[in-house]
Amino acid sequence: MLAYDENNVLCEYEENSSIAVCSNCHKLYHRTVSEQIPGLREHEYDNCPYCGYENGSSMSYDYSNSKLTKKELKRLKKKSLLDVVVNYCHRQYITTTCDDCDHNSACPGTPCGNCKQCLEEVHYPSRYPLGRKDYECERMMHFYVCDYTAKYASEMLYLMRKSDAMMEIEKYHVLSIGCGACPDLMALERFCHETSPSKTISYLGIDINKRWKSIHEKIDTYKKSTVKKTRFKYWDAVTKDFTISDANVVVLQYIISHFYNTGQSNKLMHSSKNLWILL
């Protein structure tokens, strides 16, 4: 259920048969429905206890409506996709070690590894010519998600807020190339919650790295009023022939910097026609 919280922020809540959402103010309220006594029926109204809006009426049932407490709202509130993914990656990271490290010279730093240093090598290859070149370690990727996802999602959210075109779309059909842990989807979920309770998202993420799969499987289990459908393909977007005809939002997640870091800058101008169109 999508509804406003006590701070007037649109949020996702757990479904509950005794709780309704007002069609006018979009706040949650207790709604108890009981059958009227035959022969003593009267026209009863399902009025919102916050704004008084009439959400329905009946000659067969009585409505007993009341406001929810802050504690009840907090208990019903679902976590966002960002919370779900970061919490998952944190659990994975703290319960694993780098004992079976595949780093060229073993993990740098402490005996159990130093994922931040590994990421430094990936992000700045010119400084570390013998260092790790890509996201080749799942434990490092879990660390990466915990360390960077909120930053990347916030960058995208700021951009969405400035886009009139994004504001006008009601049903987002997203093609994300180089999707990784999907910070763009997390940002878009938040953007939808900020703008309208009717907005929905379907999402196709493409990434060449299959090591993201466990995180993608976690995202696939996350279905809500806003995030309707997610799919993932492990393709090379440069060589794979695919269509973007259904997409109304296309995201390139750090694709240009990836080509530069891996010495493939020439592919930015000599890629498949699909990717060239996106650039």
Q: Where are the domains of the chain?
A: 2-76, 81-278
Two structure tokens written together for 91: 């659990």
Closest to 151 (Cα-Cα) out of 174, 119, 128: 119
Bridge-partner residues for 66, per DSSP?
30
Q: What is the pLDDT of residue 69?
A: 92
Q: Name the percent of the chain lying above pLDDT 90.
A: 55
Angle CA(81)–CA(87)–CA(92) in degrees, nearest 5?
A: 125
Q: CB neighbours (10 Å) of residue 242?
A: 15
| Residue, of 21 and 111, whose pLDDT is higher | 21
How large is the angle between the packed helices 138-161 and 183-195, nearest 10 degrees?
Answer: 30
Burial pattern 87-101, b for ≥16 Cβ within 10 A else e, equals ebbeebbeeeebeeb
Binned at pLDDT 50, 70 and 90, residue 264 comes out as: low
Q: What is the pTM of this model?
A: 0.80
Domain 81-278 sits in CATH at 3.40.50
Supply φ then ψ for residue 30, to 5 degrees: -65, 135
Binned at pLDDT 50, 70 and 90, residue 240 comes out as: confident
**CB contact at 8 A, 176 and 253:** yes
Binned at pLDDT 50, 70 and 90, residue 205 comes out as: very high
| Lowest mean pLDDT, pick from 3-7, 76-80, 137-141, 261-265 | 261-265
DSSP string, 213-238: HHHHHHHHT---SSEEEEEEE---TT
**CB contact at 8 A, 28 and 20:** yes
Whether 66 has a pLDDT exceeding 90, the answer reads yes
Residue type at 100 in one-letter notation: D
Supply φ then ψ for residue 87, to 5 degrees: -65, -40
Two structure tokens written together for 180: 């990784």
Kindly state the average pLDDT of the residues 88-116.
Answer: 74
